[in-house]
Structure 1
Amino acid sequence: MSKFEYIAVLVSLVLGLGIANILTGLGRMINRRNEFPIDVVHFLWSIALFVVLVLNWWVFFKNSEVTEWTFEYFLSIIVWAVIFYLMTVVLFPTDKNLDQDYGKIFLQNRSWFLGLFIASNLMDIIVTALRGQLFSPPFYLPFVLHFVALGIIGLKTESRAYHVGFASYILFISLTWSFFVRLLLV
């Protein structure tokens, strides 16, 4: 077993748990839709985060080309994956006794969710830098930093219109990257 395969098992487990948590939460949301209305902001972030998790799990495979694994790089990858998992738990708390008003959940956890969103982008920068590809392609750093800026704005505003737009934008960018841009860069 290679070092990558060994590490990929743990990363896959953490990201897989995140995906399972989102799917469980969406299932609960659908099943309890008559008791608790589906909130558009929460729903959009759920779908966007699902796509981001799947995309990042796919992109993680680039690490199979890494020949020299340091503990710092390993730890950064694990922290990166854990942040994504924590985002799913903040979006869909695992305590089944909690109020399931999804709009209220998002508002109460918005700072944590967006803080983790910002942290996930900063960890992506760290992981990319440790891999020696921070400026390859040259637009990578400004692209990721614009997500950080949008997250900071989201922390400062409670505007539903902003949060609908922000979640929609992340979903759109993730799908566009997955199905079009990624193919052009290969």
Structure 2
Amino acid sequence: MEVASTHPEYFSHVRTIIGMVLGLSLARLVNGLTRFVQHPGIIKVYPVHLGWVIFLFITIVHFWWYEFHLSRIPVWTFPLYGFLLFYAMVFAALTALLFPDQMYEYKGFEDYFEQRKRWFFGLLAFAFLLDVGDILIKGEDYLYSLGVEYLIRQIAFVLLCIIAVAITSKKLQMVLVLAAITYQVSWILRLYVIL
């Protein structure tokens, strides 16, 4: 068995595969958004769906930005690598849920999103729980540097996802997604403007 090493290129190696998965996720969002431009007479925008697309785009870009703090990890193991790869793949699954390969059996994005929102919000809640593990990997000091707001934020987003599944009012759904986007941008600007 080989002794664990702390070579900096290990972090670069892990970042590469995570970057590939996140890059595919962002590409799926961009490709999905261009459908509205390519086929404006056929594919109609559903504002609530579009709001969650914007939220997820911001969240994925944010995830990639703050994952740089993984450079502080002294020893890389396969389970650690597997966890981070799995976490990144959850974002890929979320983007696939927002923009499916085919829409033939649905009347449009409103119909699709309303029928699949349990899957989307369930997986999004799971991503917020995985984030706690990701933060703990970076160390207790990193967790404490985020303050008590971090844990409140994670719990609030998980609860928001549970509530979002039950909300049928389009106006209330829109308020919820706009609040999520606003808070996410606020969080990033307050804590992550500088690495």
Q: Taking structure 2 as the reference length, what is the TM-score of the superposition?
A: 0.86
Tell me if the contact between 1:39 and 1:103 (Cα under 8 Å) persists in the aligned partners: yes
Q: Distance in 2 between matches of 1:135 and 1:180?
A: 15
Q: Distance in 2 between matches of 1:137 and 1:175?
A: 15
- 1:66-108 CA deviation, whole Å, 9 max, x = no partner? 1122333222211110111100000000237564711112112
Residue 82 of structure 1 is matched in structure 2 by 89
- Between 1:8-17 and 1:155-164, the stretch displaced more is 155-164
- Between 1:129-138 and 1:55-64, the stretch displaced more is 129-138
- From 61, 66, 70, the equivalent of 2:73 is 66
Residue 192 of structure 2 is matched in structure 1 by 182
Q: Could you say what secondary structure the match of 1:2 adopts? A: helix
Structure 1 position 135, deviation (Å): 4.0
Alpha-carbon distance change, 61 to 44 in structure 1, aligned in 2, over 3 angstroms:
same
Runs of 4+ in 1 over 6 A off after TM superposition: none
- 1:136-186 CA deviation, whole Å, 9 max, x = no partner? 433221111110011111122222223212221221122222334434x87
- 1:99-134 CA deviation, whole Å, 9 max, x = no partner? 471111211210111011101000001111233234
- Pair member with larger Rg: 2
Q: Distance in 2 between matches of 1:124 and 1:181?
A: 16
- From 139, 156, 174, the equivalent of 1:164 is 174
Q: Distance in 2 between matches of 1:94 and 1:73?
A: 31
Percent of aligned positions that are identical: 26
Tell me if the contact between 2:21 and 2:92 (Cα under 8 Å) persists in the aligned partners: yes
Q: Distance in 1 between matches of 2:107 and 2:128?
A: 28
User: 5 Å matches for 1:58-137?
Assistant: 58-95=65-102, 99=106, 101-133=108-140, 134-137=143-146
Structure 1 position 42, deviation (Å): 0.8
**Which sections of structure 1, spanning at least 5 residues, go unmatched?**
none
Which residue identity lines up with residue 110 of structure 2 in the other structure? G
Tell me if the contact between 2:69 and 2:138 (Cα under 8 Å) persists in the aligned partners: no
Residue 14 of structure 2 is matched in structure 1 by 7
- Between 1:90-99 and 1:159-168, the stretch displaced more is 90-99
Q: Distance in 2 between matches of 1:13 and 1:163?
A: 32
